[in-house]
Amino acid sequence: MRLLPATDRTPAPWKNGGGTTWEIAVQPPGADLSAFDWRLSIAEVATAGPFSVFPGVDRVLTVIAGSGLRLTIEGLGDVVLDETSRPLPFSGDAPAAATLDGGPIRDLNLMVRRGSWRGSVRRIDGAETITATARITVLVALVPAKVDDQILAVEDALIVDPDATLTMDGRLLLIGLDPA
């Protein structure tokens, strides 16, 4: 397992300049927004406005703090998300715009290069034992949490060894990445 502490992340502007993001991990390491195979990040949405368009990329957006993110996505219509909503997959090609019904939110954004990778996000709430079946498995803590003997602070991430069986307790996101 490899710990990726939230305190080690550096804020960066969104691709369209409309907000702030903190990169958790990217493949290949150091890839910019035009050259990644996959990218996992946390963003703060503090004002209404358009989302960045990422042609050829599939996205999964999960609100991790706050309520009332209303997304209007071309081809999907309006979707309202909060910190209890299921992760929302959508095409990065589709223009999307956000409004905030309940103030600023934070979200986790998984982006994968279509045709090269596929990804999934699942919420875990409470005690659970899992086996890491994906090629790359990442856990992100939404509250202080425990994975085996590892204590995670809020928004810390843990890259898990393939086929590892882990016992966890807390509110976490389980992210799986596999070659397409």
Give me the pLDDT at residue 38, please: 98
Write out pLDDT tens, residues 16-58.
777 889 999 999 999 998 899 999 999 999 899 999 899 999 9
Chain centroid offset of residue 91 CA: 15
Give me the pLDDT at residue 177, please: 98
Give me the pLDDT at residue 64, please: 97
Write out pLDDT tens, residues 74-132.
998 899 999 999 999 999 999 999 999 888 999 999 999 999 999 999 999 999 999 99
Please report the DSSP string for 103-157 in residue order: S-EEEEEEEEETTTEEEEEEEEEEEEEEE--SSEEEEEESSSEEETTEEE-TT-E
Kindly state the average pLDDT of the residues 172-176: 98
Give me the pLDDT at residue 102, please: 84
Would the CATH topology of 8-113 be identical to that of 117-179?
A: yes
Residue 139 has pLDDT above 80, yes or no: yes
Give CA torsion, residues 108, 112, 114, 120, to 10 deg. Answer: -60
Q: Where in the chain are the domains?
A: 8-113, 117-179
CATH superfamily of 117-179: Jelly Rolls (2.60.120.10)
* Bridge partners for 177 per DSSP: 119, 136
In angstroms, rounded to a whole number, what is the distance separating the alpha carbons of residues 92 and 73?
10
Residue 67 has pLDDT above 90, yes or no: no
| CATH code matching the domain that covers 8-113, chosen among 3.40.1790.10, 3.40.50.150, 2.40.50.140, 2.60.120.10 | 2.60.120.10
